Each structure stands twice: as structure tokens, then as C-alpha cells.
Amino acid sequence: MAEGAAAIEAHGVGKRFGDRAALRDVSFSAAPSELLAVIGPNGAGKTTLLSILAGIREPDEGSVSVGGTVGWVPQAAALYRRLTVAENLRLFARLEGVADVEAAVERMLAQTSLGDRSDDQVGTLSGGNQQRVNIAIGLLSAPAVLLLDEPSTGLDPRQRERLWEFVLGLAGSGTTVIYSTHMLLEAERYGDRLLVLADGERVFDGTADALHAAAPGSEARDFEAAFVRFLAERGH
Amino acid sequence: MGTDVRWLLAKDLRILRRSPLIVGLLIVYPVALGVLIGFALSGDNSKPRVAFLNEVSSTQQFQIGSGDNEIDRDLARDELCSRVECVDVSSREEAVQKVEDGDVIAALILPEDLLDKLNSLATLNPQQPQVEVLVNQDDPLKASLVDDRIQALITEANLILAQKISDEAANYLDLLVKGGNFSIPLVGDVDILGLNRAATLLDGVAKDVPPDSPAADALAQVNKFARLAGDNLHFALPLLGAIAEPITVDKQVVAGDTAELDTFAIAVAVTVTLMFVTVLLVAGSLALEREENAFARVTRGTVGPGGLLTEKLLLGVVASLAVTLLLLVALTALVSIAWGRTPLILAAILVGGAGFAAFGAAIGASAKEVRASSLLAFMVSLPIAFLSLVPSGTVSAGVFHAIEIVRALFPFDPALDAMQGALDAGGPGLGVPLLHLALIVAAYGALARVALRRF
């Protein structure tokens, strides 16, 4: 973990939905400029964890502390399809309390290369472009911590490359980025650290190399195989 | 939060503007419905259309006695057509056609022998006068209405005849008691002595008859009869007047403040519009926040679920105010609206709109998707509106009490009362229904707030 004060910390976070424990005693921290990849099987609690970190849900146990604003980009695009790109950005900038709304809108349009589509209704954009608007909304408040839930969903390879160039640039500028992904290649390639969840529990917190080494007999296997073996060894 | 609510409201209005089909359905449909009701009201509903065929000869008359009470075909027509909208026809076939086509609710035919039969009532060979009524009974409700109307007309006609006959009889009685001129056809005017004058003459004659004369007793008896008859027959005059209508009705309203029928119909049209526009719009708009996946993003900031709910209620009130005022303005061209009561009308619309908006929010928060919320809104609102129009006396007391409880749980009934009270000073008071609506806003608002926790 990088030295210095953590940008975000979670202590013993737990969440139940009825009888099902979606999260159990999950603790971690992330430093400024760090890219933390949250990975795990379906139903592991990744989206629940990110929604708690974003303040969408309250944890039933534990606490979350953040040293600044939090930007949140949900998995499914959260925007109004009958509004234009600019109208969406303007509305959410106002709701986020951004000081200079128009400047923030212009900045996001430039950063996401959507300036020429600013007056198009979002419903007319492709899935990939809608996702770009979705991410732009999450960045309006220039957050200290950016939460991305499956950000590559719906993006073609070129768009994914562009997205990660952008995200890496943010991290380089000091933004802490926590992202969940099913694509283990993305986790291995871009994540400074991996947080592995399974059945609501934190089962690993470390680098991709450390996880690879922790999976027995995985020296000659790729990262995905090592990950599957790692989980299997621990009964998940 | 106030500024945030304003931005959210502007957002929803902008989305509405870009959904012309939804705007069309929400605005044009209820306004068209209201205007149709207005058209129905602007025609004189108190006068049903009746085809009228008068086969009585224009030269014939029904004369009651020798006085001024005459009935001819024009009098009959005038009396009838002051109560219904007469559609003159020239033949029985034409009358039948109009009834079959629905142009008129019934046809009334005065046969050519009507006055002959009326005149025969004073002879030794009386015949029952009869009029012919043609009706279309394809609709039982309409058939019942027609029967009631025709029966009322015939009863009134008989009443008029009876009144004229009793008036003439009273004239005869008056002549008999007081004396005077009496005109006899082909003979001319005859001076009738009258019982009073006869008694006076007999008094004069009796003075000249010796008291012990046999004629004195007879004269005294006749004199006594004349005086008694003259004194007592005078009291029969009001009795004759009462024969025509022996029983009158004194109607007293002991319960229920009802507005005029036209005002009630306008209030129903306005409240139905208010209901459809507001409930569907708010339910759909709230459910849309979930469908667009925007709910969590919008409410994680300063707005919160409560702020979003407030904005949706405001949206409902704004839309309902606009559409309802539009409807009332459209109706003004057709019926009379008491615009002098505008502040009360606005209060009824605003609070009624808030009640329906809260109800719609509860539906939208529970249904969570636009199509389900629209369907649910429609399926719940329509039966409740029908229940609110069920009058007491048409079902048993127990059933009506249950209906009253159900009606009280929904905004339609108090909104209708508020609108009636706003439109007509003679309608229900505004205070109670407005308070009722305020409670409904609080209750359904709380329900919506709870449902949003699982949104």
C-alpha cells in the first residue's frame, strides 16, 4: 500500500439483505492515486461494496471514511435518455453542488470527447457513448475518490483502451480509483492492488503477483487460471 | 434542497415536452372528455327531444262549458312544447323513423279524434280520449327515462284539463249562487237569477203573503233553501279548486348539500381530468427514475428521496393546474362557470391535485416500472371514481357504508366535493374536503416514502 493518509477506508463493513449476508466484515483502505481492482465471482458483493462506499446504501455494520468527495459511476448508465448530453451533465453538476456548472460541463465534454454530441439526446447515442456520459457525470465534482462499477461493460476494445488511458490519467493526477470488473485482465493490467471478494468476505488484498504466487501449482498458468484455483483452494 | 427540487422539476417538464405522445394523451384526452361533457350540458338537457304529430283538425276545439276555457290544437302544442323540445313531423311513418334512428327519445301523436272524444266526456256516450306514444326500448335505461317523462307529461296534461274543468265548474257554481248573465249557444244571453237574489225576492214576496196562508209555509221553505244553498255552496268553490290537485308536495332538504346538476357534472369532468392527468403522470415519472437507473444517483446528494418525492408532488400539482384550467376555459365556451369564485376553484385544484399526486407517487414507488405503474394507476383509479358516484339509496345501507369507507381512503371523493363547493356556493363546504385531502397527501406521501426505501 502506498505511504501516506488513506483516501478512503472501510472498517468491518457488513450488509445483509434479509437472511443473506451480502458483505461480512470487509476492511481495506486505498491511498491517493491508487488503482484498486475489486474482483470476485458473481454475487460476491462487489456492487454492494461500491454502493456503500458511494453512500447509496448504509452498511449494517462497520463504517466508511473518505477524505474528500466521492464520484460514483454505476454499472448501468444512470442518466436521462430524453435529455441531451449537455443537459444531463448540467443537471447532475447542479445536484452535486458544483461551483461553476458550465465550466464543469465543458471540461467533461472535452475530457470524454463528446463535444460534438453535446446537443444530442442521450438515448440516440451508442451504448459506449452512453457509458462515457455515465462516467463523465461521475467526474463532475472532480472527486478525490472515483468508484467505477464494471466500467468496460458495453465498450468495444478501442473504447476500452481510451477509457483506461483516461482513468490512468486521473489516477496520475491524484484521484483514487476503485473499480470492480469481471475482466481479470483489466484487474491484473491496471490495478495497483486487488481486493478479492467471495461470498461477501474479503479473501485477498494484495498485488496480482502475490495472488498468482498464492495459488498453488499456478506458476505456468495464466492469471485467470490462478485466480480460479486460488478461490477453489479456499472453498469458493 | 429548494433549488435542487426546482432543477429536477425543470428536468421533468423538459422530458415531458419531448414526449409528445404522452403529453397528448395526458392533456388532450381528458380535455376532450371534458368538452364532450360540456357539449352535453350546453344542450338543454331538461328538455328531451320528442317528435310531435298533431292530427287534430285546426278548426276543432274542446270547449269546457260556455266560458273562456277552450282547448284547441295550438294550445295543446304550446303546452307540450314548453316542456320538451318538439320536433314536428308530418306523418306517423316519419315519427316512427325518428324514434328508430334515435333522433328523438319518443314520438307523441295526437289522433284526429282526440278533441271529439274529449267533447264526448260531457255527453251520454263518453269515450276515453287517447294519445299515442312511440318509444324505442333498445336501451332499458333510456326506456325507463322515456316512460317517466311521457307519464309526467300526460299527468300534467290531465292536471291542466282537470284544472280548467274545475275552473269552469266553479264559474257555474258562482253563477248559481250570485246570478248573472249566461250565454247559451243559439239562444243568446240569459239572465240567471241566482240563489242570493232568489232569497231576496222571496223575502219581499213573503211580506205580502198572510201568515196563516198555506203558501206561507211553502214560501218559507223555499226561502230557507235558497239562503242555505247560497251560503253553503260558496264554500264549495275552494273544494272544486282542490279537485284538480288534491295533494300537493312540500319538499324539504334535511341532508346533503348538493350543487346544481350542471355544476355537479362540471365538477365530475374536472375531477376525472385531475385524477387521470395527475395520478398517471406522477406514478409514471417516479417509476421512470428507476427505469433510467437515475434514482440512486439523484438521491445520493442533497436532494434525497424526500426531495425527489417533493419534486414529483410539485410536478403533479403544476401539471394538474395547467390542464384543469385549460379544461375549465374550454368549458366556459359551452356552459356557465362561476369565475367570480376563482380563488376557491384554484384552492380546490391545487389541493385536489396534491392529493392525486401523492396517490400517484405511492403507486409509482410501489410499482417501480412505468408500464406497471400506469396500469396500476388506471385499474385502481377508475373503480374508485365509479364508487364515488354511487348515490345513497341505490344500495343497502350496509353496502353504502362500506363504500363510504373505501371512498374516504382515496382522493377522488374529497376532490369532487371540493370542486363542487368551489364552483357553486350552494354546494358542499370547502373546509372539510380540503382537510380530508391534506390528510390523504400526508398518508400517501408517507407510503411513497416507505416504498422508496426499497426502490
Q: B 19-38 residues with CB below 8 A of A?
A: 19
B15 part of contact set with chain A, CB < 8 Å: yes
Residues of B in contact with A54 (CB under 8 A): 300
Q: Which stretches does DSSP call E strand in A57-97?
A: 61-66, 70-73
DSSP B163-216: HHHHHHHHHHHHHHHH-EEEEETTTEEEEE--HHHHHHHHHHHHHHS-TTSHHH
Of A51, A80, A97, the CB nearest to B294: A80
CB B84 within 8 A of CB B153: yes
ipTM of this model?
Answer: 0.88
What's the average model confidence in pLDDT over A40-68? 94
CA–CA min distance B377, chain A (Å): 23
Closest-approach residue (CA) in chain A for B302: A95
Residues of B in contact with A137 (CB under 8 A): 297
Residues forming a β-bridge with B404: none
Cα B57-B62-B65 angle, rounded to 5 deg:
155
Residues of A in contact with B294 (CB under 8 A): 78-80
Residues of A in contact with B302 (CB under 8 A): 95, 97
Q: Which are the contacts of B83, defined by CB distance < 8 A and separation ≥ 6?
A: B47, B153, B156
Residues of A in contact with B8 (CB under 8 A): 91, 95
CB A120 within 8 A of CB A42: no
Q: If interface means Cβ-Cβ distance under 8 Å, which residues of chain A face chain B?
A: 51, 54-56, 72, 74, 76-83, 87, 91-92, 94-97, 121, 137
CA–CA min distance A91, chain B (Å): 7
Q: Count Cβ atoms within 10 A of the Cβ of residue B371 and give its class: 0-12 exposed, 13-18 middle, 19 or more buried.
A: exposed
pLDDT tens track for A98-129 = 999 999 999 999 988 899 999 999 999 988 88
Helices and strands, counts by H and E, chain B:
18, 8
Residues of B in contact with A74 (CB under 8 A): 293, 296-297
Of A79, A80, A96, the CB nearest to B301: A96
Neighbours of B376 (CB within 10 A): 18
Residues of A in contact with B15 (CB under 8 A): 80, 82-83
Q: Which are the contacts of B179, defined by CB distance < 8 A and separation ≥ 6?
A: B191, B192, B193, B194, B195, B196, B197, B198
Cβ of B302 within 8 Å of Cβ of A95? The answer is yes
**Alpha helices (H) along B333-369:** 342-367
- pLDDT value of position B245: 60
DSSP B245-258: SS--------S---
Residues of A in contact with B18 (CB under 8 A): 82, 121
Of B11, B19, B296, the CB nearest to A91: B11
Read off the pTM.
0.74
Residues of B in contact with A92 (CB under 8 A): 297
**CB pairs < 8 Å spanning A and B:** 53
B13 part of contact set with chain A, CB < 8 Å: no
Residues of B in contact with A83 (CB under 8 A): 11, 14-15
CB A198 within 8 A of CB A219: no
Cβ of B3 within 8 Å of Cβ of A72? The answer is no
Q: Which three cell numbers stand for residue B42?
A: 350546453
Distance (Å, whole) CA A200 – CA A33: 26
Cβ of B293 within 8 Å of Cβ of A121? The answer is no
User: How would you write the pLDDT of chain B (455 residues) with one tens digit per residue?
Assistant: 688 999 999 999 999 999 888 888 877 877 777 677 666 655 555 567 888 888 887 666 655 555 555 555 666 677 677 767 888 899 999 999 998 888 888 888 888 888 888 777 766 677 888 888 888 776 666 667 667 777 777 777 777 777 777 777 777 788 888 888 877 767 788 888 888 888 888 888 888 888 888 888 888 888 888 788 877 776 666 666 666 566 666 666 666 555 566 788 889 888 988 998 899 999 999 999 999 999 999 998 888 999 999 999 999 999 999 999 988 988 888 788 889 999 999 999 999 999 999 999 999 999 989 999 999 998 998 888 888 887 777 778 888 888 889 899 999 999 999 999 999 887 778 999 999 999 999 999 999 999 999 88
Residues of A in contact with B303 (CB under 8 A): 95
**Mutation target among A94, A121, A150, A153 for the B interface, most CBs of B within 10 A:** A94
Q: Which three cell numbers stand for residue A130?
A: 452512453
For B263, the enclosing helix (H) or strand (E) is: helix B261-291
Q: How far apart are the first and last CA of chain B?
A: 21
Better pLDDT: A226 or A28: A28
Residues of B in contact with A95 (CB under 8 A): 4, 7-8, 298, 301-303
CA–CA min distance B297, chain A (Å): 7
Of B15, B294, B300, the CB nearest to A54: B300
Distance (Å, whole) CA B220 – CA B199: 10
CA–CA min distance B349, chain A (Å): 29
CA–CA min distance B8, chain A (Å): 8
Closest-approach residue (CA) in chain B for A55: B300
Q: What is the DSSP letter of A58?
A: -
Distances in Å between the alpha carbon of B78 and those of B131, B142, B332? 16, 25, 32
CB A25 within 8 A of CB A201: yes
Question: Which of A202, A149, A208, A159 is CA-nearest to residue A184?
Answer: A208
Chain centre distance of CA B207: 69
Amino acid type, A30: A
Cβ of A87 within 8 Å of Cβ of B14? The answer is yes
Location of C-alpha cell 209555509: B217
Q: What is the DSSP letter of A68?
A: S
Largest separation between any pair of C-alpha atoms in chain A: 56
Distances in Å between the alpha carbon of A216 and those of A196, A199, A221, A226, A232? 17, 21, 10, 8, 11
Distance (Å, whole) CA B369 – CA B287: 5
Q: Which are the contacts of B131, defined by CB distance < 8 A and separation ≥ 6?
A: B108, B109, B110, B111, B114, B154
- pLDDT value of position A2: 45
- pLDDT value of position B41: 59
Residues B132/B136/B140/B142 CA torsion (nearest 10 deg) = -80
Q: Regarding beta strands A176-180 and B49-54, do their DSSP bridges make them parallel or antiparallel, or are they unpaired?
A: unpaired
Cβ of B19 within 8 Å of Cβ of A82? The answer is yes
Closest-approach residue (CA) in chain B for A53: B300
Q: What is the DSSP letter of B27?
A: I
Q: What is the DSSP letter of A221?
A: S
Q: Which three cell numbers stand for residue B356?
A: 392525486
CB B30 within 8 A of CB B273: yes
Cβ of B11 within 8 Å of Cβ of A80? The answer is yes
Q: Which three cell numbers stand for residue B318?
A: 403544476
Cβ of A95 within 8 Å of Cβ of B7? The answer is yes
Of A54, A80, A137, the CB nearest to B292: A80
Residues of A in contact with B19 (CB under 8 A): 82
CA–CA min distance B365, chain A (Å): 17
Q: Which are the contacts of B297, defined by CB distance < 8 A and separation ≥ 6?
A: A72, A74, A78, A92, A137
Better pLDDT: B50 or A12: A12
Cβ of A94 within 8 Å of Cβ of B4? The answer is yes
Of B293, B296, B303, the CB nearest to A95: B303
Cβ of B297 within 8 Å of Cβ of A72? The answer is yes
- A30 phi and psi, to 5 degrees? -135, 135
pLDDT tens track for A157-198 = 888 888 899 899 999 999 999 999 988 999 999 999 999 999
- pLDDT value of position B139: 65
Cβ of B14 within 8 Å of Cβ of A83? The answer is yes
Residues forming a β-bridge with A195: A38, A205
Q: Count Cβ atoms within 10 A of the Cβ of residue B235 and give its class: 0-12 exposed, 13-18 middle, 19 or more buried.
A: exposed
Question: Which of A141, A131, A6 is CA-nearest to residue A71?
Answer: A141
